[in-house]
Each structure stands twice: as C-alpha cells, then as structure tokens.
Amino acid sequence: MIEIGCVEILNRRPSGQKFQRYLNPERDIDAGALAVHGIELTKLAAAPKFAAICAELIAFIEGAELIIHNAPFDVGFLDAEFARLPGEARTISSCAACSIRSPLRAACIRAAQQPRCPVQALQRRQHQRELHGALLDAGILVDVYLAMTGGQGTFALDVNAAEAAAARASANKSRCATGCGARGAGAER
C-alpha cells in the first residue's frame, strides 16, 4: 500500500476533515500499479511505513462505518498491513471497531442498464483522469455515495435543538476512505 485517503461525512455533508498519508511500501511497486497511480518508489523512500501511521488511521476511522467502492480489494490491502504489525493478528475492523459496507459495488452491476446512474458517473470521472489518487478517489466516492443515497436521513422535531444536533452527529458520522493499493474506501459515522 502506498497511499491512504479518507474524507469524513457528518450529517450527510463533507465535514472538511481529511486523512491522507503516503506510505513507504517496503517493496518494489508493480508496473501495473505504477500505471494507475504514477507514484514511483523513489518518491516514497522517505515516507513513513504503515506501522508509523497506523494509530492515526485508527483514530480517524474509529467507530465509523467505512463506505468502500471496492471493499474486498481495499480491505485486503489494509488487513495485510495490519497482519504485518507485531503482536496478535488483527484486521481493520477489529482495530478500529468499524463496520465496512460496499454499496456501490452492487450498484455497478445495475449501472449498465441505467442511462443516468451515479456509479456510471463515478466510473467516467475516474477513467477520464490519467492517474488515480487515494484522496481524490475518496472525494469522488463521497459525491457519488451522497447522490445515490440522497434524501432525508431523519426527521425530528425536538425542543432541544442542541441535543438533537449532537444525536444526529453521532449517528451520522462517516468517513470515505480510499488508498492506492487500498483504494475506494469510504466511511460513514
């Protein structure tokens, strides 16, 4: 894994909080992967290793629902990094107490039959670029996820607006995360 990018969603809006780290993969970069992201190993020589940023990543996604475009691919990379850490074997879900969803994956199957599908828009936007980046892909995922799941999330008429806002914030906190090598991840809280 060479890059992790996450975008937080609060109450169905990007909060402005982001997490992005480039990582030293401690191995050569496959030519196919290089063609996708364009990041050469020489540019990552001084970047931290996953173990050095692991606690920061966990703090950012702790308790979130991760919304991941291609969860099996991304989670596989993340879990492989967690497995390399010393101590007991762990996974991203066990370390960050988060859940993982891949709602866009199922939508991709239906996209071919729908002329105006947000997933098709996501695919077009991703393929119009020459290179992919984790944080940029996470931002695109946020846009598409919010478009696909549009509508009112809750309806409440509370006298205590501050209490209602706090309850909504804790129930609606998300983080969309993606990474080159662990690409297409998003998170919602």
Write down how long the chain is. Answer: 189
Tell me the longest C-alpha to C-alpha distance in the chain. 59
**DSSP state letters, 121-172:** HHHHHHHHSSS--HHHHHHHHHHHHHHHT-S-S-----S-HHHHHHHHHHHS
Of the candidates 114, 119, 116, the residue with the CA atom closest to the CA atom of residue 69: 119
- Could you confirm whether 132 is annotated as catalytic? yes
Catalytic position from the list 37, 69, 127, 132: 132
CA-to-CA distance for 138 and 179, rounded, in angstroms?
8
Those residues with Cβ within 8 angstroms of residue 133's Cβ, 6 or more apart along the chain or in another chain: 3, 5, 37, 180
Which residues are identified as catalytic? Answer: 132
